[in-house]
A and B are shown apart, each in its own frame.
Chain A
Amino acid sequence: MMDVPVSWYVILAVTLFGIGTVGVFTRRNLLVVLMSLEIMLNGVNLALLAFARQRGDVQGQAAVFIVMAVAAAEVAVGLALAIALFRRNGSVDLDRATRMKG
């Protein structure tokens, strides 16, 4: 554990973040998009933790707790929107939700 250099954590974190970003922009199912958003945030959390551990500093770890709490709130709002969308369209497909263009 201690042998793993911090750059590996950061690379993994950025990879997770990238996977999440691609997911948000390519997947059409709102629930999968929400999951992708969570992956992005968790990638950030991993980076924060890696840096905090590298420096032996608690600030970064405290920040992770705050991010987790905010992410939970965000998902609550996202799921509420998903329910509203499902009630209206009978599906959570984002393509079917799009009416406005240009």
Chain B
Amino acid sequence: MSDLLSISPMLVTAFTGLLVMALDLLAGRGRKGFLAWVTAGGFAVAGVLACLLWRTPVTLAQPFLANVFALDAHGWFFAEIVLLSGGLAALLAADHLPEQGIHGGETYGLLSFSVTGAILLIVATDLVTLFLGLEIMSLALYVMAASKASSAYSAEAGIKYFLLGGVASAFLLLTVAFLYGATGHLGLVDIARDLVTKGSGPDPLLVQGAMVLLVVALGFKVAAVPFHFWTPDVYEGAPTPVTAFMAGAVKAAAFAVLARVVLTLSRAPLFVGVDVTPGDLLLGLSVASMVVGNVLGIVQTNVKRILAYSSIAHAGYLLLGVWATQSLAGTAARTLNDAVPFYLLTHAVATVGAFGVLALLGRAGEEDMSLDRIAGLGRRHPGLGLALLVSILSLAGLPPLGGFLAKFNLFRQILIENPSVGLPWVILALLMSVVALYYYLRILVYVFFKEPEGEPAEAIHSTSGGIALGIAAALTLVLGVAPGAFLEASHTAAQATVLAAPTAPAVPPASVPAVAATPRDATPIAGGAQAASPSLVRPRGEGDAIRMLRDTRRLPPGIDVQRLPAPPLH
């Protein structure tokens, strides 16, 4: 029973989906708006439950749950981002969908299932569960993207997303198969432990190939260059609230899983004898995303596409954050860069706000969101203009909004973690942020200082949409002005991101390349419980693990810890 309570946020969102589908059948045609409130209410309940569970950590009793879920700060933080974006997207959809000729209520059900899948993906520590979560999230998204039957763009968006998403899923699965082949495990913690204790096995090519495939698959999901081709088309073609959900929630979930999987596995000496490491791959993706996203953003004229390229560029900054941690995997960094979860939160809120304004524009099936059509919006609809202003400035990273603080924090953390190596890339990121100002400010110039040349996009009247925009804008401001609690939460989330895999190295001076494993007697919780509450078993600091090892085993100084036999963890 307590296990059911522990996973209740996921259950609540899943049941919300079922409830919405049932209510959809009962509701009369053209009266589906209340479903948005039911969906958002369900997400709110799930969000509160997640908060409560966050405050009172629980351990899962059933082994089949404990081995596949990690219900920790990392999971709940990203789950909150997903629930928030999902709820706002539902409220935005209430009046947008009928206006665009989507009269069924199925979007809300699909949204609920997609959110469920995203949370499952975030909390999964087992590769098969992770794959299931990814597919539950994605399959619902493919349908939502294509749900506007009257639009050729929507169908194209759905098909492109489906095909490339299917390929990415297949790549992820091949990763699973290779890691399983190399270690015989499907759980992340077990795999990481085996990779450290036993090396890459008889055939290191399997593990190396697996890591490359993993970066490709997740690079697709976070829309990193060169796996970004689907992004502008899908963002443009999909119904705008769905785009908001994709850009906010799906990106956060994908980054959560990317950080957790890559960092957990990167404790192992994966690429022995090869010059390229997964970290280098991440850096390559990051630089390419920052440059391509920002430069191509300049030449776009459709606001949805501009925001899509902005989303690609933000993936680049975030990848830099993950890389900065990863590049130190062998030496000092024990946890994810503190700023990454906070950055994803601010990005999700701002991007949902920006797409939300677009969702409330365009009557009767109009879907063209070019710059010309939003010209003069600030004069005609000051409320919408203001919401767009706040969101865009936050995305651009200007004070006093959340985006500024997130970006500042991210770059600062990178420099603290890895000053010499990180500096050139941080400078590049800053330069690219300046480039990005051009297209962000261009949107605002059109909105506030230009008069429309043709027929401007008319705003639709939407109470729920207005409320959603208000929440997004207020939160963006709060994240910039009073971020204390959020930064603290981000810190704990980042602490929990890397699963309690075997301890990585390094007592100074680095005479110890890798510690065999966390000794059982030094860390009371092991095995299944380890997956359930990694924050409890994570060694407290870099030197601590080795100190513990030395204490408990009475190691004389100077002995190579790596050569010790691995104590059993189960």
Interface positions of A (Cβ within 8 A of B): 7, 10, 13-14, 17, 20-21, 24, 30, 33, 37, 40-41, 43-44, 47-48, 50-52, 54-55, 57, 59-60, 62-63, 66-67, 70, 73-74, 77-78, 80-81, 84-85, 88, 94, 97-100, 102
Residues in B with CB closer than 8 Å to A47 are 174, 177-178, 181
Contact A44 B170 (CB under 8 A): yes
Q: Name the interface residues of B388-445: CB closer than 8 Å to any CB of A.
A: none
Contact B159 A81 (CB under 8 A): yes
Q: Tell me if B507 is interfacial: C-beta within 8 Å of chain A.
A: no
Closest to B134 in A: A70
- Contacts A17-B170, A21-B167, A80-B143 known; A85 to B178 CB distance under 8 Å? no
Q: Name the interface residues of B163-222: CB closer than 8 Å to any CB of A.
A: 163, 166-167, 169-170, 173-174, 176-178, 180-181, 184-186, 203
Indicate which residue in B132, B146, B153, B299 contacts A81 across the interface (CB closer than 8 Å). B146
Residues in B with CB closer than 8 Å to A44 are 170, 173-174, 176-177
- Contacts A17-B174, A44-B173 known; A77 to B237 CB distance under 8 Å? no
Q: 19 A-B residue contacts at CB 8 Å?
A: A17-B170, A21-B167, A37-B163, A43-B174, A44-B177, A48-B180, A51-B180, A59-B180, A63-B176, A77-B142, A77-B143, A84-B146, A84-B149, A97-B152, A98-B156, A99-B156, A100-B233, A100-B237, A102-B305
Least CB distance, B363 to chain A, in whole angstroms? 22
- Rounded to whole angstroms, the CA-CA distance of A99 and B232 in the bound complex is 12
Q: Which of A73, A78, A81, A97 has the most CB of B within 10 A?
A: A81
Contact B152 A70 (CB under 8 A): no
- Rounded to whole angstroms, the CA-CA distance of A99 and B151 in the bound complex is 11
- Rounded to whole angstroms, the CA-CA distance of A66 and B169 in the bound complex is 13
- Contacts A59-B180, A97-B159, A98-B156 known; A77 to B173 CB distance under 8 Å? no
Residue-by-residue, is B290-311 near A (CB-CB < 8 Å gives 1, otherwise 0)?
A: 0000001001100001000000
- Rounded to whole angstroms, the CA-CA distance of A84 and B237 in the bound complex is 15
Indicate which residue in A17, A74, A98 contacts B166 across the interface (CB closer than 8 Å). A74
- Contacts A33-B163, A40-B170, A59-B186 known; A81 to B155 CB distance under 8 Å? yes
Closest to A60 in B: B180
Least CB distance, B473 to chain A, in whole angstroms? 29
Residues in A with CB closer than 8 Å to B372 are none
- Rounded to whole angstroms, the CA-CA distance of A55 and B299 in the bound complex is 54
Contact B131 A70 (CB under 8 A): yes
Interface positions of B (Cβ within 8 A of A): 128, 131-132, 135, 139, 142-143, 146, 149, 152-153, 155-159, 162-163, 166-167, 169-170, 173-174, 176-178, 180-181, 184-186, 203, 232-233, 236-237, 296, 299-300, 305
- Contacts A77-B139, A100-B237 known; A37 to B167 CB distance under 8 Å? yes
Residues in A with CB closer than 8 Å to B158 are 81, 84
- Rounded to whole angstroms, the CA-CA distance of A30 and B49 in the bound complex is 43
Residues in A with CB closer than 8 Å to B237 are 100
Least CB distance, A58 to chain B, in whole angstroms? 11
- Rounded to whole angstroms, the CA-CA distance of A84 and B299 in the bound complex is 32
Residues in B with CB closer than 8 Å to A20 are 170
Residues in A with CB closer than 8 Å to B299 are 102
Closest to A63 in B: B128
Contact B135 A97 (CB under 8 A): no
Q: Which of B128, B142, B185 has the most CB of A within 10 A?
A: B128
- Rounded to whole angstroms, the CA-CA distance of A7 and B159 in the bound complex is 35
Q: Which of B159, B176, B232 has the most CB of A within 10 A?
A: B159
Residues in B with CB closer than 8 Å to A50 are 181
Least CB distance, A5 to chain B, in whole angstroms? 12
- Rounded to whole angstroms, the CA-CA distance of A48 and B431 in the bound complex is 45
Given contacts A13-B177, A78-B162, 12 further A-B contacts (CB under 8 A): A17-B170, A24-B167, A33-B163, A37-B166, A51-B181, A59-B186, A63-B186, A66-B132, A73-B139, A74-B166, A81-B162, A100-B157
